[in-house]
C-alpha cells in the first residue's frame, strides 16, 4: 500500500492503464506539460510522450469530437473536460453521439472512452464552476457514470472505466483532491457498478456519493457516539450501473433510508434511489424516505453561503434523528 492523494491517484490510474495498453491515449486542456489545472496528470507526458498525452485548444467540442473519432478507430481515449460545468457546451456529443451511436450502428461502432471531469463544490469557485452534474449524465441511456470518494477508488475505478467497452463519465470531486488514503500498489482495478459498505448499523441506511461520503461517515460517527443510533453507510461509487442490491439489502434490515446528494434537489439521483426503494420495499420501511440535498439554486461563491447550502454532517444528523423519533 502507498499513501496517495486523490489527485495523485488520478495520474496513477491513468499511468497503470497506459503502461499495459498502448492504445490508451489522453487529451485535454493543459493536461500534458502543465500537469493539469488541478495537478492531477503530472508526469504523464514525460513518461508516455506527446503523441499519447496531448494538450488541446480550449474547445470542449473539439476534445470530445477527437475522442469519439479515436474510439471509433481502435484507440481507447481518455478525454478531460476541465470543469464538469463545461459539459453544457459539448453535451450533444455526449448525449446524442457517444451514448447512441453504438446502438444506432447495430454494434458496428464501439466507444471504449472515458471522459474525466472535476465536479462539484466546496472550493468557492462560484455558480459556473461548482455544479454537481452527475444527475445530468445519469439521465442519458448509453453512458456509465462513476464518482469515487477516495484515492483508492479513483485508481481502481478509473482503471475499470478505461477497460470498459462503453463510454464512461468519470466525475472527480474537486474538494477531495487533497485528501489522502492507502492505495494498493501495482495493478489495481475496482468493478464498476459495485457499491461499498463503509459502516454497518441497524437503525438507518445512509446512501452517499463522492464528497458526501466522508460527510456521511462523520454523521454516522456522531449518531453512534452522541445519540446511540447506528447507521449503515453505503458509498454508491457509480450511478450507472447502480448497485440496487446493496441498497435493498441494507434498507430491508434497517427499515429507514436517507440519501445524501450534492446535486440540486430537483431530479437528483437520490430521487431515483428513493423511487426504487418505495416501489420494491414499501412494506419494509418504518418511516418516510429522507433526501438531504443542495437546494435547487445556483451554488454561491461566498464561503458562508456555500457552506450553508451544501449537505453537512450536522444536517445529516438532524435528518436522521427526525426518523428515529
Among 138, 71, 79, 137, which residue's Cα sits nearest to residue 101? 71
* Grid cell in block for residue 89: 457546451
Burial class (CB in 10 A: 0-12, 13-18, 19+), 303: exposed
CA distances to 81, 98, 280, 310 from 115, in Å: 7, 11, 33, 25
User: What's the number of CA atoms in the CB half-sphere (13 Å) around residue 248?
Assistant: 13
- Could you say which of 129, 188, 227, 296 is catalytic? 129
Burial class (CB in 10 A: 0-12, 13-18, 19+), 169: buried
What are all long-range contacts of 295-302, with beta carbons under 8 Å and residues at least 24 apart?
295/264, 295/265, 296/264, 296/265, 296/266, 297/264, 298/127, 299/121, 299/126, 299/127, 299/130, 299/131, 300/126, 300/127, 301/124, 301/125, 301/126, 301/127, 301/130, 302/124
| Cβ count within 10 A of residue 94 | 21
- Distance, in Å, from the CA atom of 313 to the CA atom of 228, rounded to the nearest integer, reads 16
- Distance, in Å, from the CA atom of 303 to the CA atom of 280, rounded to the nearest integer, reads 41
E strands, 62-187, in order = 76-83, 114-119, 144-146, 168-173, 180-183
Residue pair 201/296 in contact (Cβ under 8 Å)? The answer is no
- Distance, in Å, from the CA atom of 307 to the CA atom of 160, rounded to the nearest integer, reads 33
| Residue 188 designated active-site | no
Residues assigned a catalytic role: 129
Amino acid at each position: 500500500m502507498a499513501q496517495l492523494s486523490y489527485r495523485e491517484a488520478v495520474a496513477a490510474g491513468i499511468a497503470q492503464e497506459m503502461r499495459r495498453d498502448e492504445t490508451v491515449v489522453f487529451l485535454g486542456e493543459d493536461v500534458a506539460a502543465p500537469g493539469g489545472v488541478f495537478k492531477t496528470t503530472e508526469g504523464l507526458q514525460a513518461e508516455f510522450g506527446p503523441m499519447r498525452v496531448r494538450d488541446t485548444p480550449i474547445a470542449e467540442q473539439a476534445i470530445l469530437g477527437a475522442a469519439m473519432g479515436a474510439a471509433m478507430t481502435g484507440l481507447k481515449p481518455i478525454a478531460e473536460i476541465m470543469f464538469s460545468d463545461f459539459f453544457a457546451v459539448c453535451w450533444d456529443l455526449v448525449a446524442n453521439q457517444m451514448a447512441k451511436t453504438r446502438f444506432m450502428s447495430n454494434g458496428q461502432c464501439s466507444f471504449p472512452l472515458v471522459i474525466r471531469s472535476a465536479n462539484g463544490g466546496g472550493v468557492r469557485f462560484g455558480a459556473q464552476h461548482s455544479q454537481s452534474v452527475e444527475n445530468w449524465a445519469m439521465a442519458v441511456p448509453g453512458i456509465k457514470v462513476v464518482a469515487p470518494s477516495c484515492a483508492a477508488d479513483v485508481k481502481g475505478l478509473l482503471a475499470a472505466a478505461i477497460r470498459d467497452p462503453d463510454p464512461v463519465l468519470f466525475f472527480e470531486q474537486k474538494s477531495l483532491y487533497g485528501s489522502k488514503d492507502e492505495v494498493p500498489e501495482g495493478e489495481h482495478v475496482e468493478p464498476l457498478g459495485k457499491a461499498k459498505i463503509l459502516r454497518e448499523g441497524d437503525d438507518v441506511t445512509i446512501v452517499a456519493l463522492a464528497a458526501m461520503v466522508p460527510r456521511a461517515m462523520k454523521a454516522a460517527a456522531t449518531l453512534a457516539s452522541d445519540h446511540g443510533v447506528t447507521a449503515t453507510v453505503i458509498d454508491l461509487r457509480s450511478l450507472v450501473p447502480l448497485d440496487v442490491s446493496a441498497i435493498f439489502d441494507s434498507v430491508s434490515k434497517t427499515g429507514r433510508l436517507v440519501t445524501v446528494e450534492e446535486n440540486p434537489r430537483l431530479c437528483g439521483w437520490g430521487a431515483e434511489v428513493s423511487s426504487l426503494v418505495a416501489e420494491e420495499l414499501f412494506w419494509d420501511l418504518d418511516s418516510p424516505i429522507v433526501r438531504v440535498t443542495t437546494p435547487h439554486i445556483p451554488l454561491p461563491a461566498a464561503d458562508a453561503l456555500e457552506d450553508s447550502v451544501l449537505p453537512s454532517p450536522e444536517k445529516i444528523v438532524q435528518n436522521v434523528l427526525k426518523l428515529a423519533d
